């Protein structure tokens, strides 16, 4: 696990140094490339499941976040179903981790955009250093059950760290849970989709709206539901007890 995180950090560093945010034409070409690769992986998944009756996924436990539970295990697909993992895959040095959604009814290939890993790892490191000296994380205010906004000044940030949304290109804020997790707040992305007329049911988790017509799943996220004003509201699965 430590080697995997180090590899992700190294890849992210290279990406930012070389300029991740390509001109629009290059970004469109890049997107077309991984969409083609996703289609190839989807075909391999379908054939594997037809032959074996199971899905080629990595082992997970009950504490694994929803959208990181069904990570595709390319070792089970190569070489019989694919010659090699796609070039955009993390396993091949790429910046995307391939995963499945809707595994019970219609297993569908999506990707986790790993470009946010560097920012999340840096924030986690600063929090851990702060906690080693002060016991508690520097919480500024409670934003939802077991979920907090941090005092970034106490963590020596000049500005609050953000990540770039793979859906809209918007900047998304980061939150901190009482289980020590960094959570990306996708509320602005979801609200944009709702403003465009997406219909949802009361109490329904809104995150599937994000990947309904997009290749990405919401990495480091918690559920959202509609509030009385018809806006997305954080509905995290955390307890009230704080371990921060």
pLDDT value at residue 201: 86
Is residue 150 within 8 Å of 137, Cβ to Cβ?
Answer: yes
Domain positions in the chain are 2-115, 116-234
Both structure tokens of 75: 């070792």
Q: How many CB atoms lie within 10 A of CB 150?
A: 25
pLDDT value at residue 29: 45
Write the CB contacts of 162 (distance below 8 Å, at least 6 apart in sequence). 119, 171, 172, 173, 174
pLDDT value at residue 19: 34
Both structure tokens of 176: 């901190």
**Three-class SS state of 59:** coil
First to last CA, the chain: 23
pLDDT value at residue 10: 34
Is residue 148 within 8 Å of 135, Cβ to Cβ?
Answer: no
Using CA atoms, how far apart are residues 185 and 199, in angstroms rounded to an integer? 21
Both structure tokens of 228: 């009385």
Using CA atoms, how far apart are residues 94 and 21, in angstroms rounded to an integer? 15
pLDDT value at residue 240: 56
Nearest to 113 by CA among 183, 32, 193, 12: 12
Both structure tokens of 105: 């009814």
Collect the ranges in the chain with pLDDT lower than 70.
Answer: 1-33, 239-244
Using CA atoms, how far apart are residues 220 and 184, in angstroms rounded to an integer? 6
Is residue 160 within 8 Å of 182, Cβ to Cβ?
Answer: no
């Amino acid at each position: 696990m430590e080697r995997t995180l180090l590899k992700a950090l190294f890849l992210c560093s290279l990406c930012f140094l070389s300029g991740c945010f390509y001109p629009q034409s290059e970004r469109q070409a890049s997107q077309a490339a991984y969409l083609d690769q996703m289609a190839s992986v989807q075909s391999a998944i379908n054939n594997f499941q037809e032959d074996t009756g199971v899905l080629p996924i990595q082992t997970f436990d009950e504490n694994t976040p929803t959208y990181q539970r069904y990570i595709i295990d390319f070792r089970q697909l190569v070489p019989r179903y694919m010659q090699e993992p796609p070039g955009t895959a993390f396993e091949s040095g790429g910046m995307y981790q391939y995963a499945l959604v809707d595994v019970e009814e219609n297993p569908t290939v999506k990707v986790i955009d790993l470009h946010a890993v560097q920012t999340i790892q840096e924030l986690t490191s600063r929090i851990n250093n702060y906690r080693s000296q002060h016991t508690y994380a520097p919480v500024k205010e409670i934003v939802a059950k077991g979920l907090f906004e941090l005092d970034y000044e106490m963590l020596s940030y000049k500005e609050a760290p953000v990540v770039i949304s793979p859906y809209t290109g918007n900047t998304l804020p980061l939150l901190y849970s009482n289980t020590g997790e960094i959570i990306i707040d996708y509320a602005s992305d979801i609200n944009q989709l709702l403003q465009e007329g997406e219909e949802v049911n009361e109490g329904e988790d809104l995150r599937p709206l994000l990947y309904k017509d997009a290749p990405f799943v919401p990495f480091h996220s918690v559920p959202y539901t509609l509030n009385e004003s018809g806006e997305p509201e954080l509905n995290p699965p955390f307890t009230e007890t704080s371990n921060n």
